Every structure is written in structure tokens, then in C-alpha cells.
Structure 1
């Protein structure tokens, strides 16, 4: 299967991954044959890329976590975000009685306990997965973006944490913090989050307030560790001090935050947003590598480049010699040098069907992803 922008999908292709609505219910099941009406319907719910199976790419790619666990996690994050703001508003309201505040605090602890429980499930699921290479980007709808994004950031962060062989206590802090790192966005007006044009300075300042707001919403809870709270507060800090809210540098930023920061940017870049189309996995990886030392810690970026597959199996690519091929396999630790089966060749028709190993043929590189063949 391969990931294709919706405007490049041809009739007769088959949907490779099930599409869910914002409540986790199945809208279109994998395997359905796509036609113009279905493609138009999918686009109407603000989904602009799909995994498909066609004549060029038929192999499957497994998600690093079970699909039902992904949907369960998204629902729990959504329920938590939807209720934390309501609870916080009442708690901070001076007219709310002490008795009601205690009840609200207990309710908040219940939602955060659900986050804790699903974090343990994610840790067990990923720790048991022998293949820690990330081959997929998660397809998100605009309406459910924040919740899906938080789950994906948690998954990516955990994969890095497991690769680092972090102790379970650190994995718990890492996962819980990542799952709710954007909880402060519940205070940002939806029209700003979904704006399809450049933000004004005032609007961007509102966006920049979300780490502090999120920390304020859950700062007093005993259900979260101080490290999980730091992930909420610091996830937009950068190595060179140009981040926010405090402009921290280098070692002033918690190490687990540095992991989440990379996962956060990678998932955001590879997601369709109202103001821009998704970057390809290789473009997102190149951006992160280009910002080592300024935005990101080199040690964690080095690790990230070893677990992310920028050209997943089934991706149709164009080579530097003009040939078009489909990725067959990616060797560990060499994500930019996969084995490729040639589909079209302007050089020699006899090369069609042959296998090129970029790990051995160093004269060739992948020049880009090819959506239309």
C-alpha cells in the first residue's frame, strides 16, 4: 500500500486502511473499492490523504500499535481534553463552593487516571513489538486532529524511549506527558486552530500560551509526575533558546521533553493542516535533521533517524536517473537507501522489474515521491 494525496487517487484503487469518524466509529472499511463519489465524501470530512492499494503497491504495512488501541487512546484523550477545560473553569471560579471544587477535582483525577491506564497499555503494546521501525504516518481528519496528534506523538516518543531502553517509570512519564502535551489548546479558539491562512501576531501569541495554560489546568494534580507536567510546559522549547514559553536552552530542558519535541514536530509536519498540505516523511525527516543543534538535540535526532522509515514499503519514488520504482525493503539504520523495484525506465525498458539496491548502488539517490505513475 502507499500514501497518496486524495487528488491523485484514481478510481478503482482500494482503500488500504479503515477510516474512522471523530468518535472512533468505522466510516469506510479497508478493502473497499474507491470511486469518485467515495473520494469526494472522504474529502468532505477533511481527510486529504489516504493509504491505497493499486497495481503499483499491494503489500500491507502494520501499524506499530493495534488499531483498536489507537482508537481507544484517541477517545480517552478527546474525553479528557473536552472535560478538563470545563472542570478548570469551575475550579478557578471564585463563586464555586469548596464542596463543588472537591467534586470537580475528583472528577479530574478520574480522567487523568484513564490517561495513565491507556499509557500503560501503549507501553506494553510497543514494548512487545519486535519491529520498532515506524513505517506509517497516521491519517487524521481536521476535526479530530489535536487528539489524533497527541496519540501519535505518544507512540513516536515511546518508540524512541523503548529504543533507548529507558526504565518503565520514564516510559510512563514520557507517554503520559506526550498524550496530554497539547491539553492547553482547549483554551485556544477553534477558529484560530483551524484558520487556513497565516496567523496574525496576536493569534500566534494566543497559540503560544497553550503550554502554560495546559500546565495551569493540571498543575495541582497528584495523578501526574513532575516530569509529565514538564512535558506539557516545555514541549515547544528549543536547543538554542528560541522556543517558548521561557526560552530555555540545552540542558535546561528535560531530556524526555526533547524526545517529545521531535515527535511533535515530525507528526505535525506529516499531517494535513488547514493552512498547508502534509510534508512527506522524508521531507519531515530532512527538516528535523537540518535543525539539529538549533531546535533539536543531536543525540535524539540520531536515534530518530534510525527508527523512522522515510520511504515506507510500497512508496513509489523517482530516482536521480529518471527511473520510477516502488520501495520493496528498507535496511535497518539506512533509511534513505532502500531496495527498489523498477516500474518505468526512460533508460532501458529491460530494466523494468529489476531490483536496485541503493545501499550498493551509491550513484543513485531518491529524488522524490511519485504519486502518479
Structure 2
């Protein structure tokens, strides 16, 4: 399986990952053979990158932290929540709570799996994919930081709803009035929900605050920022780096990891960053790379304790219809390293 730009996709190739719509339904199923019309539609809805099945990499395993069933449920509940807020109605916190239970169940079952953000984004689903990714990563960081079950539930609900203030039309992050910032609007929305712990509202309120006191909306010092918000800030920052919701620009995971690392202790909480780097795949499966041996290949496996030392399948081609593959486990070859990420 390869992660490729849509401009290099050709009709007849097979989709490697299911694409979800914004309302919790399937847009295109994994394994479907792509046609000219499908590729054109994907471009139109804002897809720029997607996974393609490749004969040479057919055996490559890409374990998922969240099941497709959980993703569908979470995205549907988030869509219902956003629609309720837009129409001035009460949203169903019970449904959100049940969705978070499913996230935590999946994450606990697959906690040894490194995070690989494989969901394909469109203009309509990106807000929901972002919320799901931030919730998933925050839960894993929280587990690494030894939070108990109640704390993990509060953290993950806060992470899932951290950007809820963006739904209100009155929110305006460009305004000089801090109370119009989406963090403040999210706090106002969530603090009214008496069935939710007030700490959940503070996740929405504080996830753009920074340890150096230069964050927004209040410029809080480090000791006044709650741990939940510090964790969500790291997950939120990383996901926005690998996919900028404003421009659609992308940074490769290893580039985003380097940037997150550089923010530790100033823009982001140092301990939360340390735990984040232990759960993320620096070179996700499907990434095309060039090794220091000058061989090229595709990442096909990961090591929990060594996220920067994946397993790479190198393809040797003698003739167009004749290829031979070998796998190089970088954890077992300390003198070989990834020289460049291709494509």
C-alpha cells in the first residue's frame, strides 16, 4: 500500500483506505477499483492524498487504532452535534459519551500500535477527522501519563469537542475581542452542560494556551493550564501540521514530529510531547523512502519502542514484469538510516 498524491493516481488502481463522508457514512470503500469519474470526484471534494493498493506491497500490514465502525459512529455523532449547535438546539452529550467509550475501548485494545493517521480527508469531513484524530492521540498520551479511567474519559471527551466553538457563527479568531475566539465560545457552550465535568469545558478554553505564557485567549502561565489542555494541545498541533485545515497544506509526519519536538517546553508541554513521541509513527506504513544504501522502498512495519526505525521493503526491478522484494529492519541495521522521504 502506498500513500500518494491524487495527481499520480490512475484509473484501475485500487483504493487502500475507506473514505468517510462528513455525516458518518462511507463515501468510497477500501478495495474499490478507481475510475476516471471517481478520481475526478475525489479531486472535486478536496482529496489531495490517498492510499493505493500496490501489488508489490500487498502484504504490508497497516494496523488501525480505531475500527471503521468506531470512526463511523464518532463522525456521525459529531455531525449531529455540530448540526444541533448551528440550529440552536441542545446536543446529545450522552451520545458523545458513548462514542468516547468506543474510542477508549479501541485504543486500550490496540495501545501497542503506533499512531498512523490514515484517514483520507475531504473539505467536508476534515473537521470530524481532525476531532477524531485529536481524541485518539490524546487518549494514548493520557494512558502513557498514567491517567485513571475517569480522567481518560474526561480528557477524551474534551479532546473530541475541543474545537466545538468554531461551529458558532459568532466566533471570530481574528477579532481583538478574546471572547469571540473559538476557545472562549467553546468554553461558553460546554460549561452550560451540567452533565459534563467543567474540566471538559476548560479543554476547549485552554488548548491554545502555552507554557511560555504567549498563548490565547488569556496568555495563561504554565501552572494555570490544566493537564488535559496541555495534552490536547500537542495532539491538536501535530494534526494541524500534517494537514492544515485552512490551506490543505501538508507536512510529512517526520517533519511534523521535529516541529512538535522543537516546541517542547515553550509552546507545548514538555512531558506531553515526550509521551506523544512514544505513540506516533514517524514514518507511517506506505511511505516511500530512500535509504542511506541508496536503495528505495516502502515502509511496511513499525516498532513500538523505536518509531524512527521502521521496516522497509526494498523493491529490486530487473525487468518491467519481474521484481524481487526484500525487507530491511532498521532496528536490526543501526548503520542504515532513512535518507529521504520520497513523493
Q: TM-score, normalised by structure 1?
A: 0.82
Stretches of structure 1 lacking an aligned partner (at least 5 in a row): 88-106, 193-200, 346-351
Residues 18/328 of structure 1: CA separation in 2 closer, same or farther (3 Å cut): closer
Q: Is the 8 A contact 1:85 1:217 kept in 2?
A: no
Residues 203/6 of structure 1: CA separation in 2 closer, same or farther (3 Å cut): farther
Q: CA deviation at 1:355?
A: 3.6
Q: Does 1:23 align with 2:4?
A: no
Cα distance in 1, alignment partners of residues 19 and 179 from structure 2: 29
Indicate the residue corresponding to 1:83 in structure 2. Answer: 84
Q: Does 1:268 align with 2:269?
A: no
Indicate the residue corresponding to 2:279 in structure 1. Answer: 307
Q: Is the 8 A contact 2:65 2:111 kept in 1?
A: no
Indicate the residue corresponding to 2:167 in structure 1. Answer: 186
Q: CA deviation at 1:327?
A: 1.7
Indicate the residue corresponding to 2:321 in structure 1. Answer: none
Q: CA deviation at 1:292?
A: 1.1
Q: Is the 8 A contact 2:190 2:200 kept in 1?
A: no
Question: CA offsets, 1:165-221, max 9 Å, x none?
Answer: 31111011101111111011012589x9xxxxxxxx947988970000111122222
Residues 33/205 of structure 1: CA separation in 2 closer, same or farther (3 Å cut): farther
Superposition RMSD in Å: 2.6
Equivalent residue of 2:114, what SS? coil
Cα distance in 2, alignment partners of residues 251 and 55 from structure 1: 53
Query: 1:159 aligned to 140, 147, 153, which one?
Result: 140
Cα distance in 1, alignment partners of residues 105 and 182 from structure 2: 30
Q: CA deviation at 1:130?
A: 4.8
Indicate the residue corresponding to 1:228 in structure 2. Answer: 200
Indicate the residue corresponding to 2:320 in structure 1. Answer: none
Cα distance in 2, alignment partners of residues 205 and 342 from structure 1: 55
Moved segments of 4+, more than 6 Å: 203-208
Indicate the residue corresponding to 2:328 in structure 1. Answer: 356
Equivalent residue of 1:241, what SS? coil
Residues 272/212 of structure 1: CA separation in 2 closer, same or farther (3 Å cut): closer
Indicate the residue corresponding to 1:137 in structure 2. Answer: 118
Q: Is the 8 A contact 1:16 1:30 kept in 2?
A: yes
Stretches of structure 2 lacking an aligned partner (at least 5 in a row): 318-323
Q: CA deviation at 1:249?
A: 2.6
Q: Does 1:293 align with 2:265?
A: yes
Q: Does 1:255 align with 2:237?
A: no
Equivalent residue of 1:41, what SS? helix
Q: CA deviation at 1:251?
A: 2.1
Residues 57/297 of structure 1: CA separation in 2 closer, same or farther (3 Å cut): same
Query: Residues 110-121 of structure 1 correspond to what in structure 2 (within 5 A)?
Result: 111-121=92-102
Equivalent residue of 1:174, what SS? helix
Residues 160/188 of structure 1: CA separation in 2 closer, same or farther (3 Å cut): same
Bigger shift: residues 234-243 or 130-139: 130-139
Cα distance in 1, alignment partners of residues 24 and 311 from structure 2: 36
Alignment size in residue pairs = 337
Indicate the residue corresponding to 1:334 in structure 2. Answer: 306
Q: Is the 8 A contact 2:6 2:48 kept in 1?
A: yes
- Of Structure 1 and Structure 2, the greater helix share is in 1
Cα distance in 2, alignment partners of residues 130 and 336 from structure 1: 18
Q: Is the 8 A contact 1:81 1:183 kept in 2?
A: yes
Q: CA deviation at 1:274?
A: 4.7
Question: CA offsets, 1:53-111, max 9 Å, x none?
Answer: 11343224232111111111111112112212433xxxxxxxxxxxxxxxxxxx62x51
Equivalent residue of 1:317, what SS? strand
Residues 208/52 of structure 1: CA separation in 2 closer, same or farther (3 Å cut): farther
Larger Rg: 1
